[in-house]
Amino acid sequence: MIKGIVFDLDGVIVSTDRFHYEAWKAIADQEGIYFDEKINDRLRGVSRMASLDIILERASRQYDEEEKLALATKKNEIYRGLLSRLSPSDVEEADREALEELRSRGYKLAVGSSSKNTPLILEKIGLGSFFDAVADGNQITHSKPNPEVFLLAAKLIDIDPSEGAVVEDAEAGIDAAKAGGFLAVGIGGAASYYRADRKIASLVDLLSIFKPIEKE
């Protein structure tokens, strides 16, 4: 029986794709590297350094680790600046109500995101203190498809992975959920992924999957 639900953040609760794209595009343009939205799609659910490696595939020279770190740091500075545009209105009201309804039905709710900016994003969208637990890139060493962030979230809300569901928009996230032993729910780009156990169009659809938990 499912007792807790872990949500990826970006692309599931709120979309900051446009900010990631703008920030990475600024870095790529600075370095004279071709970058477009198709390449950007490959970065979904991928860590910052792994994303940079994907972008640098088209570079005309090799970058050492110090240079890579400097580029990744600058990208994050640009991205965090763009996040100032976020507000509670960036979360669909129906999605917010669905989250509140899931809580009222007895489910423990957590965020499991590889982003180190998770606390800032949650604060900006008015959900800074809503979730029972938050596991993010500041607390893990392995990014998705490694299940570490979801396993940590499950531990923080005191459930076994077999009692948890993960809601993800990226194939790497679905792979991580499956590797961790969770029920994998695909939304957005992951809704067409064959490995997803359940497929939804919006968070509201979760209400038809997760009925109220019967009290013992």
Comparing CA positions, the residue from 147, 126, 124 lying closest to residue 135 is 147
SS (H, E, C) 96-163: HHHHHHHHHCCCEEEEECCCCCHHHHHHHCCCCCCCCEEECCCCCCCCCCCCHHHHHHHHHCCCCHHH
Which one of 8, 136, 169, 175 is the catalytic residue?
A: 8
Does the annotation count 41 as an active-site position? no
At 5 the three-state DSSP class reads: strand
Residue 24 contacts residue 40 (beta carbons within 8 Å):
yes
Does the annotation count 10 as an active-site position? yes
Which one of 10, 136, 169, 175 is the catalytic residue?
A: 10
Which residues does the annotation mark as catalytic? 8, 10
